[in-house]
Structure 1
Amino acid sequence: MKIFAKYLKPNAKFAVFGCMFEVVATLCNLALPLLMSQIVDDGINKLDFDYVWKSVLLMFSVAAVGMVCHIMAIKQNLKATTRFTELLKNDVFEKANKMTFSDHNRLGAAGLLTRTETDVWQMSEVTDVILSGVCTIPIYMICGSVLAFMKDAYLALLLFAFTPVIIAAVILVGRKIHPLWEIADKQTDRQNQLVRERLIGIRVIRAFNRDETECQKTNEATRKMVLNYIKANNRSGLIAPVAMLVLNVATLLIVYVGAARMQSGTGLSAADVVAVVQYVGLIMSGIMTLSWSLIFVPRVKVNVKRLLEILESESIPDATDLDKPALNGNVLFDNVSFAYADGSELVLSDVSFEVKAGEKVAIIGGTGSGKSTLVSLLLGFNKPTSGTLAFDGENVEGISGERLRTNVSAVLQKGTIFAGTLRENIGLWQDFTDEQIMEAVRDAQLEGFVSSHPEGLDFKLSQGGSNVSGGQKQRIQIARALLKKAAIFLFDDSFSALDFMTESKIRTAIKDKLAPRTVFVVTQRVTGAMNSDKIIVMDNGKVVGIGKHEELLQNCSVYNEIFISQSGRSFL
């Protein structure tokens, strides 16, 4: 397969050296039956014990050379396999990081994790089998057959009479286990997904006493996975017993026929029969190794197919426009519609509005109205299905995602807290001074939290921020966003976990600090939108109102309903 050649080629020297050592070791193993036959015929039968001792020493030397060469072959093959795995895993990981968001959503985090770990590991196992068998199997089968024929053609033909039995068994079994492994891998993805969801949402699950239900879902996925793996392994496990049975039957027939031919005066000796039996063992060993390799073919096809879903997926193109001037913050939506790749319905429909640089804009609407989808377009995570989205008059289609996000700073609805220090989480491992970070900390009303810990900015945060409150998580993310120099700032429902006083202080700080910047605040609270320069009201993926607070209360029924539901009184 091309994927093996691609990743083995950079380490071909290790594979070649390994093959050379394997050839020598294999030839040594083939020489031992011949030497044993000579010892019996020319030494033991003739009572020439001096010849026996010399031959024994020669056999020991040959066996020792074979052992050393085999060890060296294993070492070289391991180097080739390890570096094959390293290159493959690096490419898979790098490609996963460059995948489009649609492909990322299609495969899911659990599927990507399984492919990066399990499928790559399986490929490395198969690579090791290939490297160890590519030289030994042909030599065992060809040279062993030649040597067996040299001893006695009739006995050698008995061996080949049983070879089709093993090949037929392998083909029959391999044809049935391919779908089982494919189903098992899908259930492994499902199991990883459920475990991941459970670990992330453990507090919610326990709060609603849904532990048993979640365990049942995970157990069901595990049961299906295990059931298919057991079926596949049981069927593949039939090969070894069948091969051993064939080997034993062939050995018995060779001994029986050999004894008959010795009595008929053909010149065949007992040593020749013993040698042929040993060659049968070596040849059968090669056939069994080949059989196991053939069994792995259906399994590898599944692994390769799953890995190619990543390696051949569309990548986000490299940015070629990073040297262009920074954006000023003008944004235009002109009849923009958007639908996800796997959905037929429009999530956004004919959205049109214009924002001038420096304006403070609030986007308000109920759950599922399209607010966060609008944010994903502003961040370049997705492109419009139709219509025009422009920044400073330049169509977003001509702006790379990297350049766009260089000019946009965002606090997302589902933000991330990384395992690391507070400094690392706010600065994201960039070269900011403590003074710059502390300025952002003060603007995000996080100074009290920092000063309450002796470690200060070196306070250790757990993965996902499990050792801080929801409000503290949001303020860390706000500080992170404020630290970035950008033309456009997005706050997607970023104040929902804050009390009103803290939110008011942060809004004041944002208003002062980001005065010349364009600011989008996505919110469900009228109080968070009413003081904006412009309010965009969304409902069912459409813009149903644009204006200031007082104007919308009079001419936008959706905004008026939101105001009444939150304030308990009507504007009119």
Structure 2
Amino acid sequence: MTTLQFLLRLITFRTGLYVTNAVAWTIIYLVPIAPGLITKEFFDSLTGDDALELGTWGIIALLIGAAFGRVMLIIMGFMTDVHFRYRMGMMLRRNLLQHVLKQPGARAIPCSPGEAISHFRDDVDQTEEAASWSVDVFGLTCFAAVASYILIGIDAQMTLLVFLPLVVVVTVAQLATSRLQKYRAASREATSRVTGAISEMFGNVQAIQVAGAEERVIERFRKFNDERRKTMLKDKLMGEALDSIFTNSVNLGIGIILLLAGQKMQSGAFTVGDFSLFVYYLTFVTTFITNVGKFITNFKQMSVALKRLISLLQGAPAKVLTMKDALLLRKGEMLKPADAAARQERLDTLSVTGLTYRFPDTGRGIEDVHLQLKGGSFTVVTGTIGSGKTTLVRTLLGLLPKDEGTIQWNGKPVVDPSTFFTPPNSAYSAQIPRMYSDTLRNNILLGQKGEGDSLKQAIHDAVMEYDIEHLHQGLETMIGPRGVKLSGGQMQRTAAARMLVRDAQLYVFDDLSSALDVETEQKLWERLFESRGGATCLVVSHRKAALAHADHIIVMKDGRIEAEGTAEELLRTSATFQELWSGDERTADDAAAVGDQAAVLQSKQ
């Protein structure tokens, strides 16, 4: 996509709003035509050459009325411009974030979070600026055309002699914008490195302290800041130099008018009113030339912003940035799914046929997986480390883009798993829970309203009530960055509560209980069956507590299903399952031995 095509797609995102904005600012820029003519009559009235014969105070009243009207129009123009720019920026950021969130975790963004923030903030702002300036250029072009027609009618020679040098000056100045584009790109890259370094430092404070690398990290950060200062200084100086040329071209034009008008006024071919009209219109015509220059500058800078935004798409077409989906801007608005009927349909069977996904870097993954889940069943996916358990559930849920295979919900194809397998259809608890530096309550709800007893029930089912009672501020406890104030088991149960607070037909647990003791894990599964007996569960686990509850067990090996059946059947027929079962027994015995030793040591102290 070229920069011009990108700009046109932005303009047509809300065509009606853009046209309204353009019309409003065109009227604003055309309004000075009338005050210019009134000013001409005012000065001619002083010499007795005016045609209106309104008198001095009448002309002053007209000027005040025109100024007041223009102020009101400018207020309306700013309102339309803000609405257009706000929606355009929201559209870009929404589409970019939506695309990033749909990617596999390892490919979500090709840069640090700090650099990504720079793309979302600075590059989108620059794009908004260029699109907004296109409105000004259109309005000022209309003014320049009308003003030029009037001035040529008064004196064509002077009009050409005044405006042609200005066009040349501004055109020459525009030749420098390619260098400005280079400086702007370098400035943005330097800013991205600084924000990226800040993100890395905040995210790895403990590692930096343990390594004793504080001084080296600070020196590296200082170097990035110094590079940013130099590049931003060049960018700012070049921009200010061009603005200075554009702005002071008005003074050049006035000087040319003074040199040419004297002789014409002496001959009587040029009145004082004509002189005032030339000077008055000169400011606006020069503003037109200036703003054209600024638009060209912003347009070139937008090409830099477009390249940086496309880099976050990682190969996806640039049109992803300008997809015209609904913007939910009003409080309480909810996106209505196209398949609303399907989303409310109770799960009877979930069928997977030929599901395949291979990681691009290694070629490993899952291959030709066939499985079927019955409504209300408890299915466990087990296998050794690296057998493809997590890859299977993530591909099923659309968190990884399947290479081949079909997924059917009650016999109906699931076209887009990433959007279909969300509440109320499905809820998911990841292998490594992601926590935020917020209260425990907000980490569980994630914006959902904790209506009625849903939050209390979810906490009970996740076996968290005892932990919350012993936290200093209960559910309002701040758990710190990435949940550092919680133990591994508490984080897993917080993730379980987060999932269970969302009523769903299918619950997917990815190795949820790996950090739980045997008793807590047993309680979790018992409470889940007791309160949500009709729900379908797909569980990734090698723990005996989960395997013992399973209606059906799938054994994975090397990305394929090696065996499946009940625990009793697999203990007779599957060597891999026998090894996992006995391995879990040894792990439990080791954990019990460690607990006994700890109790003995504590009694001796």
What TM-score, normalized to structure 1? 0.75
Q: 1:203 to 1:400 in 2, by over 3 A?
A: closer
Residue matched to 1:138: 142
The 8 Å contact of residues 12 and 80 in structure 1, kept in 2 or not, is answered as no
- Cα separation, partners in 2 of 1:538 and 1:204, compared to 1, 3 Å: farther
C-alpha distance in 1 between matches for 2:157 and 2:25? 35
Go from structure 1 to structure 2 and tell me whether the alpha carbon gap of 1:79 and 1:486 turns closer, same or farther (over 3 Å shift).
closer
2:490 matched to which residue of 1? Answer: 472
Distance 2:13 2:373 in 1: 50
- Name the CA distance, whole Å, in 2 between partners of 1:444 and 1:37: 87
Contact 2:488 2:515 in 1 (8 A): yes
Distance of aligned partners of 1:260 and 1:233 in 2 relative to their CA distance in 1, 3 Å threshold? same
Match in the other structure for 2:402: 384
Q: Secondary structure at the match of 1:521?
A: strand
Shift in Å, 1:193: 5.3
Q: 1:486 to 1:296 in 2, by over 3 A?
A: closer
2:34 to 24, 27, 39: 27
Deviation at 1:415, TM superposition (A): 3.3
Is 1:78 the counterpart of 2:78? The answer is yes
CA distance in 2, matches of 1:528, 1:203: 35
Counterpart of 1:68, as a letter, is: F
Counterpart residue type for residue 28 of structure 1: P
Instruction: State the alpha-carbon separation in 2 of the partners of residues 85 and 277 from structure 1.
Output: 34
Residue number in structure 1 paired with 2:14: 7
Is contact 1:363–1:522 with CA below 8 Å preserved after alignment?
yes
Work out the CA distance in 2 between the residues paired with 1:267 and 1:426.
Answer: 80
CA distance in 2, matches of 1:79, 1:20: 14
User: How far is 1:338 from its partner?
Assistant: 0.4
Per the alignment, residue 451 of structure 1 pairs with 469
Shift of residue 162 of structure 1? 0.7
Q: Distance in 1 between matches of 2:190 and 2:587?
A: 45
Partner residue, 2:103:
102
Name the structure 2 match of 1:162: 165
Asked if 1 retains the 8 angstrom alpha-carbon contact of 2:22 and 2:138, the reply is no
In 2, distance between residues paired with 1:539 and 1:213? Answer: 45
CA deviation profile, 1:5-44 (whole Å, cap 9, x unmatched): 54362475565455434422343145435634653x559x
Aligned AA for 1:337?
T
1:345 equivalent among 353, 357, 363: 363
Stretch deviating more after TM superposition (558-567 or 98-107): 558-567
Map of 2:593 onto structure 1: none
Partner of 1:363, secondary structure, is strand
Shift of 1:359: 3.7
Contact 1:444-1:478 within 8 A present in 2 as well: yes
- 2:597 matched residue in structure 1: none
Deviation of 1:401 (Å): 4.0
TM-superposed deviation, 1:200: 4.8
Contact 1:552 1:560 in 2 (8 A): no
Output the CA distance in 1 between the equivalents of 2:325 and 2:28. 42
Q: CA deviation at 1:89?
A: 4.2
Distance in structure 1 (CA, Å) of the matches to 2:249 and 2:148 = 17
* Matched AA of 2:81: T
Shift of 1:238: 3.4
How many residue pairs align between the two structures? 553
Give the Cα separation in 1 of the matches to 2:304 and 2:586.
Answer: 54
TM-superposed CA distance for 1:556, in Å, is: 7.0
Matched residue SS, 1:349: strand
Whole-angstrom distance in 1 between the partners of 2:24 and 2:350: 63
- Match for residue 363 of structure 1 among 382, 399, 405: 382
- 1:301-450 paired onto structure 2 within 5 Å: 301-302=303-304, 306=309, 308-312=319-323, 318-319=338-339, 321-322=341-342, 325-328=345-348, 332=352, 334-339=353-358, 345-352=363-370, 358-366=377-385, 369-389=387-407, 396-397=414-415, 401-402=419-420, 406-417=424-435, 419=438, 422=441, 425-426=444-445, 429-430=448-449, 432-434=451-453, 436-450=454-468
Could you tell me whether the CA contact under 8 Å between 2:177 and 2:297 is conserved in 1?
Answer: yes
Choose from 232, 236, 241 the match for 1:238: 241
Counterpart amino acid of residue 433 in structure 1: G
Contact 1:411-1:481 at 8 Å conserved across structures: yes
- 2-structure distance, mates of 1:428, 1:266: 77
The structure-2 alpha-carbon separation of the partners of 1:490 and 1:250, relative to structure 1 and needing over 3 Å to count, comes to closer
Instruction: Give 1:412's aligned amino acid.
Output: A
Q: Counterparts of 1:144 and 1:518 in 2: how far apart (Å)?
A: 74
* 1:194–1:490 distance in 2 versus 1, CA, 3 Å: farther
Structure 2 stretches lacking a partner, 5+ long: 1-7, 310-317, 327-334, 591-605
Q: Residues 217-257 of structure 1: CA distance to partner in whole angstroms, max 9, x if unpaired?
A: 76676666665555444434332333456554554444344
**In the superposition, relative to structure 1, how do residues 369 and 296 fare at CA in structure 2: closer, same or farther (>3 Å)?**
same
Report how far residue 318 of structure 1 moved: 3.3
Distance 1:415 1:232 in 2: 43
Give the conservation status (yes or no) of the 8 Å contact 2:349–2:372: no
2:600 corresponds to = none
Kindly report the root-mean-square deviation, in angstroms, between the aligned alpha carbons of the 2 structures: 4.9
* C-alpha contact 2:21 2:84 (8 A) present in aligned 1: no
2: distance between equivalents of 1:267 and 1:232?
48
| Deviation at residue 291 of structure 1 after TM alignment | 2.0
One-letter amino acid of the counterpart of residue 491, structure 1:
F
The equivalent residue for 2:258 is 255
Structure 2 Cα separation of the partners of residues 16 and 123 of structure 1: 21
- Secondary structure class of the residue paired with 2:509: strand
Deviation at 1:165, TM superposition (A): 1.7
Partners of 1:207 and 1:274 lie apart in 2 by 74
d(CA) in 2 for partners of 1:2, 1:268? 48
2:330 corresponds in structure 1 to none
- Deviation track 1:132-177 (CA, whole Å, cap 9, x = no partner) reads 55434532x3454455545554433321331342342254233444
Cα distance in 1 between the residues matched to 2:44 and 2:167: 29
Amino acid aligned to 2:85? T
The residue type paired with residue 71 of structure 2 is I
Q: How far does residue 80 in structure 1 lie from its aligned partner after superposition?
A: 0.1
Q: 2:540 aligns with which of 507, 518, 522?
A: 522
Q: Distance in 1 between matches of 2:338 and 2:472?
A: 43
Query: Which sections of structure 1, spanning at least 5 residues, go unmatched?
Result: 44-51
2:462–2:496: 8 Å Cα contact kept in structure 1? yes
2:287 equivalent among 285, 288, 291? 285
Q: Is the 8 A contact 2:389 2:556 kept in 1?
A: yes
Contact 2:136 2:291 in 1 (8 A): no
* Residue-by-residue CA offset, 1:187-241 (whole Å, 9 max, x unaligned): 6566555544554554555555555666667667666666555544443433233
Structure 1 residues 94-103 or 68-77, which shifts more? 94-103
C-alpha separation in 1, matches of 2:325 and 2:227: 32
Distance 2:434 2:412 in 1: 31
Deviation at 1:75, TM superposition (A): 0.4
Q: Distance in 1 between matches of 2:554 and 2:214?
A: 41
Instruction: Kindly state the Cα deviation for residue 373 of structure 1 after the two structures are TM-superposed.
Output: 2.0
